[in-house]
């Protein structure tokens, strides 16, 4: 299907720019993308890589990376996106799960011997540049998640699953050929791949790629590259909201900022929108669903703190593990059905749909996917009376304080609404009597003295939070550990908090 998309986009848009770097010095047209895909098909055929085989991708330049990723899928192969900066040991763990036949780029010297390495082909050496449509049923992406600890899970997304979700993104975000998106998110993760690259391909628009986010250069780049929508994560939006006085406001071309990867605190969302006048569309997705699951509407009610309503994927909330009860609440793209868990009651979030995997390719959680196709996301949340999803956190992040379940997000959202707080993470620490208790790691905003900020937050919690939810300690830190997609590395903080002093 991605093959057909490439051919159709080249026929319709030809010389229009599909990909561009932030400086505007390099670009790839839709005709160039089709030529690249045809060149990849010929190159891989010559190398003896059959349709449907895995091809690992590790290129440093984002335009090269993005072009190769889409072109290889279009050439009927399965891309294994790798982090170009990852150390050899991390790459080896992922390669052991994906088992690609070939690597594109210059692999680390520590990778296993015998792995064939090739460079991207020159599209100009391929005559015609038209892709055979028969390859489209074989392409896809193979991703490995949770690779920093333990054995990575293998997730294979077929090109029809990728196309389904990318099409849902283009429809929901009303992407058009005249749109110019901005993405500085890592191209080896599902958000940038499906929402950024394939969503833009579906719409026939342009995507501007940056290696990394720069707060100082952000708004000048948005203006100079005529950006109309921004693909971001909460860490980026938070930094921009903090810099409201020093930043020059955009000229009104940006239609919306998309927030994904982690929950966005309502206080930050409201601060950003008040400062810049740009709507923030909070979304929810995961690799197992080829990215987007729910999203707030562009028009109509956008609820701060909510991940929005389903967008092409069914969502339901079922009783927590061990809880008594019958059928769950079910909410689909068109209908909401009644069930045991009513609006506002927290339970396990499950998903099902055309973009959702029906099994793990390797090392999946036992029982995560039922025989009926519902996948347990590992997230906890609830549906409100309007069918909007509110996430409470990961099931393994819940703090068990003497039998009382405490959800870190509620405390974090409260703290992020206080002056002097840039970012915060609440995790469980060991308690000899209660088992666990909440502790907070706080990054200050500006030049707040740590002692003053800790006293201020402690007093605020005494006034605004029930006693069980008040953090027992506040650690003022210069930064929080983040993963490549901007998610807080809670496991690291929890290990630190659980370590006896």
CA nearest neighbour of 453 among 496, 418, 479, 425: 418
- Long-range pairs of 270-274 with CB within 8 A, sequence gap ≥ 24: 270/304, 271/241, 271/244, 272/237, 272/240, 272/241, 272/244
Higher-confidence residue: 168 or 326? 168
Higher-confidence residue: 473 or 245? 473
Q: Distance between CA atoms of 33 and 325, rounded to whole angstroms?
A: 52
Q: Is the pLDDT of residue 428 over 70?
A: yes
How many Cβ atoms are within 10 Å of 27's Cβ, its own excluded?
15
Question: Which whole number is the average pLDDT over 173-180?
Answer: 98
Give tens-digit pLDDT for 137-176: 589 999 988 644 457 889 999 999 999 999 999 999 999 9
Q: Is the pLDDT of residue 261 over 60?
A: yes
* Residues 170, 197 contacting (CB under 8 angstroms): no
Q: Distance between CA atoms of 15 and 10, rounded to whole angstroms?
A: 8
pTM: 0.89
For 227-324, where are the E strands, in sequence order?
A: 229-232, 256-259, 280-286, 291-295, 309-310, 314-318
Residue 427 confidence class, pLDDT cut points 50, 70, 90 = very high
Question: Where do we find the tokens 């979030």?
Answer: 349
Q: Distance between CA atoms of 196 and 344, rounded to whole angstroms?
A: 32
Question: Which whole number is the average pLDDT over 120-145?
Answer: 72
Domains of the chain: 2-209 (3.40.50.12780), 215-395 (3.40.50.12780), 398-498 (3.30.300.30)
Buried residues in 186-199 as b, exposed as e (16+ CB within 10 A): bbbbbbbbbbbbbb
Distance of CA 399 to the CA centre of its chain: 25
- pLDDT given at position 501: 57
Question: Which whole number is the average pLDDT over 114-127?
Answer: 76
Question: Which whole number is the average pLDDT over 468-476?
Answer: 95
Q: Distance between CA atoms of 465 and 471, rounded to whole angstroms?
A: 10
- pLDDT given at position 105: 87
CA nearest neighbour of 452 among 482, 418, 402: 418
Q: How far apart are the first and last CA of the chain?
A: 56
Nearest-5° Cα angle at 322, 316 to 325 = 55
Give tens-digit pLDDT for 220-255: 999 999 999 999 999 899 889 987 655 566 668 999
Least confident of 30-44, 249-263, 432-446: 249-263
**Residue 13, token pair as written in the block:** 């848009």
Q: Is the pLDDT of residue 323 over 80?
A: no
* Residues 49, 102 contacting (CB under 8 angstroms): yes
Higher-confidence residue: 447 or 295? 295
Q: Is the pLDDT of residue 136 over 70?
A: no
Q: Distance between CA atoms of 72 and 141, rounded to whole angstroms?
A: 10
Q: Distance between CA atoms of 420 and 474, rounded to whole angstroms?
A: 13
């Amino acid at each position: 299907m991605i093959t057909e998309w490439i051919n159709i986009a080249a026929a319709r848009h030809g010389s229009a720019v599909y990909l561009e770097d932030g400086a505007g010095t390099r670009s790839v047209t839709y005709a160039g993308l089709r030529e690249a895909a045809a060149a990849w098909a010929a190159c891989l055929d010559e190398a003896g890589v059959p349709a449907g085989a895995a091809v690992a991708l590790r290129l440093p330049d984002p335009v090269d990376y993005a072009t190769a990723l889409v072109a290889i899928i279009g050439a009927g192969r399965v891309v294994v996106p790798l982090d170009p900066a990852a150390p050899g040991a991390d790459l080896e763990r992922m390669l052991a799960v994906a088992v690609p036949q070939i690597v594109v780029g210059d692999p680390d010297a520590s990778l296993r011997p015998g792995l064939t390495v090739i460079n991207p082909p020159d599209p100009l050496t391929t005559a015609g540049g038209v892709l055979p449509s028969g390859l489209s049923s074989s392409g896809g992406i193979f991703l490995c998640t949770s690779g920093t600890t333990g054995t990575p899970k293998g997730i294979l997304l077929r090109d029809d699953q990728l196309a389904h979700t990318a099409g849902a993104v283009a429809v929901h975000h009303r992407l058009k050929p005249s749109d110019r998106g901005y993405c500085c998110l890592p191209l080896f993760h599902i958000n940038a791949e499906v929402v950024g690259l394939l969503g833009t391909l579906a719409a026939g628009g342009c995507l501007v790629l940056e290696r990394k986010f720069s707060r100082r250069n952000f708004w000048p780049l948005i203006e100079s590259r005529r950006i109309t929508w921004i693909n971001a994560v909460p860490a980026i939006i938070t930094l921009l909201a903090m810099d409201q006085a020093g930043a020059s406001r955009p000229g009104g071309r940006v239609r919306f900022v998309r927030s994904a990867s982690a929950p966005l605190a309502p206080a930050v969302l409201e601060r950003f929108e008040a400062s810049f006048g740009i709507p923030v569309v909070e979304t929810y997705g995961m690799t197992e669903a080829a990215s987007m699951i729910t999203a707030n509407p562009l028009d109509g009610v956008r609820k701060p703190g909510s991940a929005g309503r389903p967008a092409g994927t069914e969502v339901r909330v079922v009783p927590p593990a061990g809880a008594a009860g019958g059928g769950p609440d079910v909410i689909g793209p068109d209908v909401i059905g009644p069930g045991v868990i009513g609006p506002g009651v927290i339970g396990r979030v499950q998903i099902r749909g055309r973009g959702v995997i029906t099994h793990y390719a390797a090392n999946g959680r036992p029982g995560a996917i039922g025989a009926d196709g519902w996948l347990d996301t590992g997230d906890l949340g609830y549906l409100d009376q309007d069918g909007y999803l509110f996430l409470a956190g990961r099931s393994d992040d819940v703090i068990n304080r003497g039998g009382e379940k405490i959800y870190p997000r509620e405390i974090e959202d409260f703290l992020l609404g206080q002056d002097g707080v840039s970012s915060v993470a609440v995790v469980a620490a060991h308690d000899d009597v209660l088992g666990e208790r909440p502790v907070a790691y706080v990054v200050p905003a500006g030049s707040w003295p740590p002692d003053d900020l800790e006293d201020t937050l402690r007093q605020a919690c005494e006034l605004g939070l029930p006693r069980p939810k008040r953090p027992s300690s506040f650690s003022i830190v210069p930064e929080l550990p983040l993963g490549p997609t901007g998610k807080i590395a809670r496991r690291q903080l929890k290990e630190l908090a659980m370590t006896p002093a």
